[in-house]
Structures are given as structure tokens and as C-alpha cells.
Structure 1
Amino acid sequence: MAPLRLCAMAPNSQSTFPALFLFGVLTLLLCPSGLCDCRIFPSIAHGSHKDMSSFFSYTTVVQYECDEGYVLVGESKITCRNSHWSSPAPECKALCLKPEIKNGSLSVDKDQYVEPENVTVQCNDGYGVIGSQSITCSENGIWFPAVPKCKWEFQMGCEQVLVGSKLLQCLPYPEDVKKALEVYKLSLEIGHLCKNET
């Protein structure tokens, strides 16, 4: 069998082969086998990645995006050259919707919260917290512990409510204030009659 000669190749092959050979040699020199791990992309939970690298580039480019209900924290695009990544892979953090607190408010007021954000529930005057006052946005997008409620409760001294500002503090509803004033007026009249009889 006759030896294979490069000169027997087609003219186009002769010009292409040295270029491919040189490209392979440079690749091995810049990224030796076993030392270059740019092909191993850092994976992330609750998200995905896509290789955005150019074929003839020695730099690996990876772009990340998160699943629905999660937000990207960190660089969305990272690069790798000679086994070194430009920055750590980003994270996909869960989003929690603003909890509804009737007769109360939150220490931080916004539409969405990012895991592991913590907020404190503050009830209006005359209301007490039923449940944990401090809640945290968990990795599954749910508040933990469960969102508490603000329940009406009498404050100290409200059993002997008089009038004015103290009455308004203890009875925030207008109809309750009106009834309390009527009862208070009636009690004054009864007391006045009792004094006259004695």
C-alpha cells in the first residue's frame, strides 16, 4: 500500500489542514487536558444556563436565568478563561408576595420580598398579634411561620373607660364610641339621682 501523502490531498484541504492543526496545538497549549474545566458549567438551583461562547473564542461565556417565581441574585452572565471563572454563579432566590395584615402593618412595606427576607408584623392600637410576630420568606416562596393575625383585645384600664382621648383609644369604631358615651351619660344620671335620694 502506498504511503499517504499530504500532497495528494485536494488544494483546499492542503490549506485547511495546517490551520486546523495549528488551532488544535494552540488549544492544547492554552488549555491543557485535565487542567481546563471551563466546559463544566456551574449549575444553579431553580434556574438554567446556556452556553453563549463563540466557536473560535478561548473564553467560555455562560448566561443564567431563573424559573418562574424566582429572581436572579448576582451576575446573569459569567465567563471562564484558563479554568478561572470571572465570578461565582448567581443564585435564584424565591419571591414571596406581600402578606395581607388586616388591622396591622409590616416593618418593611413592598409588593414582593426575596428569600430569606424577614419582616415584623405590627398591629394597630387595641389589637394584639395572634401567632409569630416575625416571619421569613422561605425558599419555596411561602412565609414561615404562618402569617399572623391582628385580633381586637381590650387594653389595660379599658374596663373603666371614661371619656375623651382614652375612650377613643380603647374604642376605635364610631358606633362603639357612641354607645359608650350613652352608657356613660346614663351612669352619671343614675349617680346624680342616687345622691339626691340620700
Structure 2
Amino acid sequence: MSPVLQSVSPALCLFGVLTLLLCPSGLCDCKMPPPIAHGSHEDVSSFLSFTTVTQYECDEGYVLIGEPKISCTRSQWSSPAPQCKALCLKPEIENGQLSVDKNQYVKPENVTDEDHYIESENVIVQCDAGYGVVGSQTITCSENRTWYPEVPKCEWEAPTGCEKVFTGRKLMQCLPSPEDVKLALEVYKLSLEIRQLEQE
């Protein structure tokens, strides 16, 4: 045996004995770390450590729910693997607004961005007066980072008998000055009178 191997051999032997004493076969062996959807993991165990430590991280557009690091001692993981939940961009609703079903889901502390909603979170669409929901009023953030069903629209629908009132209101919202609104209303009134004369 070479002098180099003779000097290294006692150290290797001592390390092997310590390994057997501190971590007998079958007690420290852990199965592969549990995989997670939309994320990855890596071994971050320290050198010569008898504890396996795995760190998880999520793909872009997903947020980690649970412990980011789990360790394995005596063939058991310290906790279940975390999950990567999808983040959905806040839907833009013209002529409407959003409300969240607060009782349905509690947003985790690490999700502070008000422009995003987390997977399984429900959003309720409420249209402005005179507008009706076209599509599903309740939508849910899905695993693929899209809303399901698709985001509805708020379309104009004047209730029966209120057409003239809502027409005037729309003119006031669309035109820049009261004078323009007055002129538009006069033109509208004139067109109604002409229509009535044509029907007689």
C-alpha cells in the first residue's frame, strides 16, 4: 500500500465507523424527496451531515404554500412537501367591479400583491347600474393560471321603462360638459318627436 493511502486509510475507516454508529443502515435512508407540480427541489444538506435537507422553489407565476425546506432524519421527512399554487392576474372588468368571497379562501401571508389572486380563489363580478353580466358571475383562479369559466363582460341593458332615463345618464357620462349634454338631449328629444310624427 502506498504511503498516501496508508495515511488516508485510518481517517476513512474512522468516518465509516462513525457513520455506522450515528446512522445505522435503514434509519437515515430517506426515499427521494417528494416531487411537486409547477416547482423543483434541490439537496441543500451540509457536508458530513447525517440529515438530508431539501429546499423547494416554484416556477414563475406560482407561489409556495407550506415549508420551503424539509429535512429527513430516521427515514422520515419533517413535514409534507409544500405546494406551488397558481397566481392569476386580476381581471379587468369594464363597467363593473370585483368582490372576493372572503369566507371561501384565506390568502397566504406571502401573497401581498393586490393585482393577483391565488389558485382556488373565487371572484364575484358585479356590474354597474344599467349593465348586466354576460357569462358566469363567479369565476375561479385555476391551476393553469387562467380564470374559469372565462372572465365575463358587463353589457348595457336598460330595464323596461327606463330607457330614456338611462340614455340621459349615459350621455352625461360620455360628454365632457353640461352644455354638450344639454345639446345632445335636445337632439335626442327632437329625434323622438320626429319618430312619433312618422308613426302617426
Please give the range of the TM-score, normalised by the shorter of the 2 chains.
0.7 to 0.9
Q: Which amino acid aligns with 1:171?
A: R
> What are the Cα deviations for residues 97-140 of structure 1, in whole angstroms up to 9, with x where unaligned?
11111111111493111112111111111100000000011111
Asked if the contact 1:137/1:144 (under 8 Å) is kept, the reply is yes
Relative distance call for 1:170 and 1:129 in structure 2 (3 A) is farther
Name the structure, 1 or 2, with higher relative contact order (CA <8 Å, separation 6+).
Answer: 2
How many aligned positions are there?
A: 172
Structure 1 residue 110 corresponds to structure 2 residue 114 = yes
CA shift at 1:65, angstroms? 1.4
Match of 2:41 among 45, 49, 53: 49
CA shift at 1:54, angstroms? 1.8
Match of 1:100 among 83, 92, 98: 92
CA distance in 1 between partners of 2:158 and 2:166 (Å): 12
Structure 1 residue 135 corresponds to structure 2 residue 135 = no
TM-score (ref. length: structure 2): 0.72
> What are the Cα deviations for residues 8-38 of structure 1, in whole angstroms up to 9, with x where unaligned?
663x644543332232233234433344343
Match of 2:50 in 1: 58
Asked if the contact 1:132/1:145 (under 8 Å) is kept, the reply is yes
TM-score (ref. length: structure 1): 0.72
CA shift at 1:63, angstroms? 1.4
Match of 1:80 in 2: 72
CA distance in 2 between partners of 1:20 and 1:113 (Å): 54
Structure 1 residue 70 corresponds to structure 2 residue 54 = no
Paired residue secondary structure (1:24): helix
Q: Which amino acid aligns with 2:135?
A: G
Match of 1:149 in 2: 153
CA distance in 1 between partners of 2:54 and 2:21 (Å): 23
CA shift at 1:153, angstroms? 0.5
Match of 2:130 among 107, 118, 126: 126
Relative distance call for 1:37 and 1:116 in structure 2 (3 A) is farther
Greater mean deviation of Cα atoms: 133-142 or 21-30: 21-30
Unpaired stretches in structure 2, ≥5 consecutive residues = 101-112, 176-180, 194-200
CA distance in 2 between partners of 1:116 and 1:22 (Å): 54
Asked if the contact 2:52/2:72 (under 8 Å) is kept, the reply is yes
Match of 1:183 in 2: 189
Unpaired stretches in structure 1, ≥5 consecutive residues = 1-7, 162-166, 188-198
CA distance in 2 between partners of 1:33 and 1:121 (Å): 59
Larger Cα-atom Rg? 1
Determine what percentage of the aligned residue pairs are the same residue. Answer: 65
Match of 2:104 in 1: none
Q: Which amino acid aligns with 2:137?
A: Q
